[in-house]
Chain A
Amino acid sequence: AQSVTQPDIHITVSEGASLELRCNYSYGATPYLFWYVQSPGQGLQLLLKYFSGDTLVQGIKGFEAEFKRSQSSFNLRKPSVHWSDAAEYFCAVGTTDSWGKLQFGAGTQVVVTP
């Protein structure tokens, strides 16, 4: 069965420290992948996407993610977090053979401490 897993429900990080959020997927076909961010009381905003090509993708707000096919992973990173990065982050996966169905992970809540 197709699935998207975000192993970390909750992460606490100090302001200025680096951040890495994990995303693993299980899909038979070639995936396309996203990271979205949801600030409290807001809708979801697209951070970055991978469809093909260079496996290291840059997004908005200083985020980047690396697609590793051999590990079925698409981890999100930021070198130095800001207090405004506190939010919930969602990984999402779709495939070209079931393009209508974009599946989301359960989310990772990020707390930033001073």
Chain B
Amino acid sequence: EAQVTQNPRYLITVTGKKLTVTCSQNMNHEYMSWYRQDPGLGLRQIYYSMNVEVTDKGDVPEGYKVSRKEKRNFPLILESPSPNQTSLYFCASSSKPGGSNGYTFGSGTRLTVV
């Protein structure tokens, strides 16, 4: 089954403790993105990647890092999480630039930073 898999689904952590949210897709897509969803704000793009070793900032990149060492994986790294990063995070992938044929989304990771 074609899918984007995120782990973990739920995560509670403390301020300053580094964490990684993994994302993997099995569709051989070149384009991947990370979004965060907050009530009343919709989805805001954190980072996106056009291919292996090629990434760029989205609208809200502060406090986040990404890497794309393999085509299928696009982990999101929070080096020093803070409470304002409490949010619902989605990874997405597409076979065309910018999701122009539609993104496939993962099921989301709900992160709470206390």
Contacts and interface: CB of A to CB of B under 8 A. Distances in A.
Contacts, number: 70
B42 A100 contact: no
Interface string A44-59: 1110010100000000
B107 interface: yes
Interface residues of A, number: 27
Interface size on B, as a range, is 20 to 34
A100 B98 contact: yes
Given A42-B107, A43-B108, A94 B100 contact: yes
Nearest to A107: B42
Interface of B: 4, 31, 33, 35, 40-45, 48, 50, 56, 58-59, 90, 92, 97-108
Interface of A: 4, 6, 9, 32, 34, 36, 42-46, 49, 51, 90, 92, 94, 96, 98-107
